[in-house]
Amino acid sequence: MKRIGFMLAVLMLPFQAIFAGEGMWIPMLLKQLNEKEMQAMGMRISAEDIYSVNQSSLKDAIVLFGRGCTGEIVSDQGLLLTNHHCGYRQIQQHSSVENDYLTEGFWAMSKEEELPNPGLTVTMMKKMEEVTAQVLEGVSDEMSMEERKQKIDENSKALIEKAKEESGFQVVIKDFFIDNQYYMIYNEVYKDIRLVGAPPSNIGKFGGDTDNWMWPRHTGDFSVFRIYVDKEGKPAEYSAENVPFKPDYHLPVSLNGVEEGDFTFVFGYPARTSEYLPSYAVNLITEVTNPPKIKLRETRLDIFSKYANTDPKVRIQYAAKHAGVANYWKKMIGESKGIRRLNGIERKQDFEQDFTAWTKKENNRYQGIIPAFEDTYSELEKYSLAADYMREGGFGIELLSFAARFNKLSEVTKETTDEQLESMVKSAQLASESFFKDYHLPIDKEVAEALLEIYREEQADDFRPGFLNLIDRKYKGDVSSYVDQLFEKSIFTSQEEVDKLLQNFSHKQVKKILRDPAFEAYSSLRNFYDDKLGTPMKQLAARNDSLQRLYMLAQMQMQSDKRFYPDANFSLRVTYGNVDGYHPADAVYYNYFTTLDGIMEKEDPNIYDYVVEEKLKELYQQQDFGRYGDAKGHMPVGFVASNHTTGGNSGSPVLNADGQMIGINFDRCWEGTMSDLMYDPAMSRNIAVDIRYVLFIMDKFAGAGHLVDEMTVIQ
């Protein structure tokens, strides 16, 4: 209990030792920790207006969209906004050559035209409460890591079951400050989410991967969905009888725009940050594992692009895949460069020297932490690299990833029940249908040859899966010959062959899976992980987790005048800052906003990423911006601010001093992507599409003004 009391005392400290703009703050603690500062920076509402369990508040309009983005409700009929790239998979799945919604866009002109999306959910947090004392009841410093985890899991399970029964909500417990504090979160999950609208990719993805993570930006990165519920207003699976959701609160939308220095805040679900790592961890990420992952992903992207640029069908098939691979590829490049620019590793090392001196002076239990980190990360390096090559170089081959989906069927025996077999076959059939819809064999074959060549060259032959060494033994190092036979002999390259396999499948067909060359390669990768990587990586990770928990607690004790915020963990957070441009390099300054003028300046009909829609050009030439243009006659497109965001914040609303929505967060500037590890007030900027551009595209471009009419628009 003393440790818990200390944690709360540190959190409540009035002192400020972080940069304005830095931090991902727990909504229920804003009153105690942040309200005064936020109001001093310009906020005109209260913490209670943002988060309340006693009355409707902003939190009642914020949802986790799918499993990795944020969305916000903007009407009393459950209308929801998020990013175009967050809804990209759904848009792509509804697209075909005949109905190419990626290229042409999609707009439902009535609720009857809205498209269902099986499997898509949105999650709304109803409340959260601290349960640190209950979770850590019976936990002592004398326990081993396994004993500690077992007791925490036992306590958490009992708390969750009781809370579920009493509340009727879905309940999770998340750790904060690296297992030093715990919160119980009550969620409502909605399962009937329909696509309402999406701009053409030439608007929603304008600039493409070229501009991804970059500023200035001119991307209309938004899509529109709607939440449906049953007639009693409860979450339900899709049904034609369901009705639009009526939320307790929806965000008002402001057309008043932004000015430099304006207070803003972002409300959403940031995914993962690691601000309190030791130097050894930062070095492993940025200098050891990022470079080969960057190289392997770039190899795939080049091949994807070569085919997509010449075949419209392939472009549609690989659009979401390309975006998924490219997103983290570019982020890693910026992250590593940013840490080098900040001398981040050296700064961490300087802190560790001070930390070591403090531990000796205080003669406390933390004295061995830094040397222990050095030992574990030094040992972890080879395993991390091997795992990354396996994921990026092995499972970067679609054929092998698809073959892995048949692992359960490969274990079927005479004892497998008919019911179990039927379920496995059905799952495999669905996987096959989805896979071949978006699969182009020539791409995958070229990717396989390129990735395996790199894999063989850069991983020692005694520390890589056996099938790579087979290339040396059987094919005399000729990767091309191995890949030829792999794709020629595997049944997993043909939907017809897979369908034939699954028809009347029984234990007698198991050998056909086990002897398939693609499944053999997958098994080789899996066995390599199980035999060489899994156990030591798990042990080293557990050791580092234990060290990191103590290191977090020690940092808070050492820096008792600093106000700490917890790392992101996909829980609802508030981050706040100011609208502000920045200097990315010597003698270069980026303004805080962009306009439609910039889209016309970037236009290049010969480059797909910079094709401008004809209707958009007409509106620009006629200066027909309606009520959405600014006072100077320009059409705003995007802006940047110093809010501390990360993955998961995609789709988050950017709100003004009055809690009105002024934009949709969709990216960070490339120079600031290291903010997951180290925030830089000079460079860390979140990028948002201006809500005026969103409504302009809906209304003037798409003719879907009925959606704007649903919203509460402030002007």
The residues annotated as belonging to the active site are 85, 221, 650
Contact 383, 536 (CB under 8 A): yes
309: Cα within 13 Å, side-chain hemisphere: 10
Q: Name the residue among 446, 196, 440, 445 with its Cα closest to residue 319.
A: 440
SS3 253: strand
User: 616 is written with which tokens?
Assistant: 């958009």
- Angstrom CA distances, 428 to 323, 409, 502, stand at 26, 8, 8
Give the DSSP H/E element, type plus range, for residue 160: helix 145-167
CA 246 to chain centre: 28
Contact 531, 457 (CB under 8 A): no
> For tokens 């008792």, what's the residue?
560
SS3 content of the chain, % helix, strand, coil (to 5): 50, 15, 35
Q: Which residues of 6-30 are buried (b: 16+ CB within 10 A; e: fewer)?
A: ebeebbebeeeebeebbbbbbbbbb
Q: E-assigned strands of 243-385? A: 243-244, 253-254, 263-268
Separation between Cα atoms, residue 537 and residue 419, nearest integer Å: 37
User: 646 is written with which tokens?
Assistant: 């990360």
User: 328 is written with which tokens?
Assistant: 């983290």
> For tokens 């200390």, what's the residue?
6
* 485 contacts: CB under 8 Å, gap ≥ 6: 517
Q: Name the residue among 621, 529, 651 with its Cα closest to residue 193.
A: 651
Contact 217, 638 (CB under 8 A): yes
Question: How many residues appear in the chain?
Answer: 715
Q: Name the residue among 450, 213, 455 with its Cα closest to residue 326.
A: 213
Give the DSSP H/E element, type plus range, for residue 688: strand 686-690
> For tokens 């419209």, what's the residue?
312
Give the DSSP H/E element, type plus range, for residue 71: strand 69-73
Separation between Cα atoms, residue 558 and residue 358, nearest integer Å: 7
**Strand 170-176 to 653-655 pairing:** unpaired
SS3 284: helix
DSSP string, 36-73: HHHHHTT--S-HHHHS-SSS--GGGGEEEETTTEEEEE
Q: Name the residue among 515, 291, 567 with its Cα closest to residue 410.
A: 515
Q: At what angle do helices 369-388 and 290-308 cross, to 10 degrees?
A: 30
> For tokens 């850069």, what's the residue?
458
**Strand 686-690 to 661-668 pairing:** antiparallel
DSSP string, 434-457: HHHHT--HHHHHHHHHHHHHHHHH
Separation between Cα atoms, residue 507 and residue 106, nearest integer Å: 46
Q: Name the residue among 670, 682, 613, 573 with its Cα closest to residue 59.
A: 573
End-to-end Cα, the chain, rounded Å: 52
> For tokens 């061995």, what's the residue?
368
Phi, psi values for residue 227, rounded to 5°: -90, 130
DSSP string, 678-714: ---TTT--EEEEEHHHHHHIIIIIT--HHHHHHB-EE
Contact 519, 411 (CB under 8 A): no
